Amino acid sequence: WFVFTIISLKTSLLTVKTIAVDFNRTDIYDKITRELSGVEVVDVLVNNVGTVYHIPEYFLKIGPKYNDQYLNVNVISAVKMIEIVLPQMCRNQRGIIINVSSQASESPIPMYTTYSASKAFVTFLSEGLSVEYESKGVYMQTVVPNQVHTKLTTNVSVPLISVSAEDYVSAAIQTVGVEHYTYGHWKHKLLAYLADWVLYVIGRRLYMKVAMNGTQPMRRKYYTQNNMSDD
């Protein structure tokens, strides 16, 4: 289950409306539309809902259930939420939409293949719409973090590059209105530049193999800790 909050500011009156929905489902958007019908103005949408499999894993081992989750939560939610709020923003000639993607969208990441592909969709959707609707007064930003320490990253935490959610938000929010495409935090920006350099030097195919090899220790550790057989 996911909860999102709509904040509407009318003069000095602050209205907060909280809606609880399960973004694994695709039949929730009529409810969201109805709930938002009583909100006069929505000026900011942050598409931050997302899911990732708990460890690096092969496509067939993840299975249809989790691949469906990637599509429903990471892909469809972004499209549908933008569909809901964008018409009003265009009418009002103002609005901010922040779409949280991932650095995994910049190159395929084997063992996180479906996740990486779903985030590539978010990146392309966000960047394309940012140009389409700029003249309508709608500012759209694509945020591409690397690892942010949350419950989603418990099993794959890399302390050297991981930042707390609080630190990341504090840094990323300063880029709103400044950068249409942002890594959000200096650590992640530096890492992205390094990754681009390595990709340029060794080529895409070898880069993906190196990335895949880097995920194996985390996967083996999880299998060992949970007495699982890797057949």
Name the active-site residue from 70, 115, 183, 207: 115
Bin 31: left if φ > 0, else alpha if -120 < ψ < 50, else beta.
alpha
C-alpha to C-alpha distance for 27 and 41, rounded to whole angstroms: 24
- What mean pLDDT comes out for the span 35-39? 84
Instruction: Report the pLDDT value the prediction gives residue 10, as an integer from 0 to 100.
Output: 52
At residue 6, the pLDDT reads 55
Is-catalytic flag, 66?
Answer: no
List, for residues 143-190, the tens digit of each pLDDT value: 999 988 766 655 555 656 788 889 999 999 999 999 999 999 999 999
Q: What's the 3-state SS for the chain?
A: CEEEEEEEEECCEEEEEEEEECCCCCCCHHHHHHHHCCCCCCCEEEECCCCCCCCCCCHHHHHHHHHHHHHHHHHHHHHHHHHHHHHHHHHHCCEEEEEECCHHHCCCCCCCHHHHHHHHHHHHHHHHHHHHCHHHCEEEEEECCCCEECHHHHHHCCCCCCEEHHHHHHHHHHHCCCCCEECCCHHHHHHHHHHHHHHHHHCHHHHHHHHHHHHHHHHHHHHHHCCCCCC
Percent of the chain topping pLDDT 70 = 88
How much of the chain, in percent, has pLDDT values that exceed 90? 75
Average pLDDT score over the chain: 89
DSSP, res 146:
S
192 neighbors 144 (Cβ within 8 angstroms): yes
pTM exceeds 0.85, yes or no = yes
Q: What is 2-226's CATH topology?
A: Rossmann fold (3.40.50)
**Tokens 């960047």, located at residue:** 127
* Sequence-distant (≥ 6) Cβ neighbours of residue 142 within 8 angstroms: 99, 101, 122, 123, 126, 127, 130, 180, 181, 182
Q: What pLDDT does 1 receive?
A: 46
Instruction: Determine the pLDDT at residue 104.
Output: 94
Looking at residue 198, what is its pLDDT? Answer: 95
pLDDT-based confidence at residue 229 (cuts at 50, 70, 90): confident
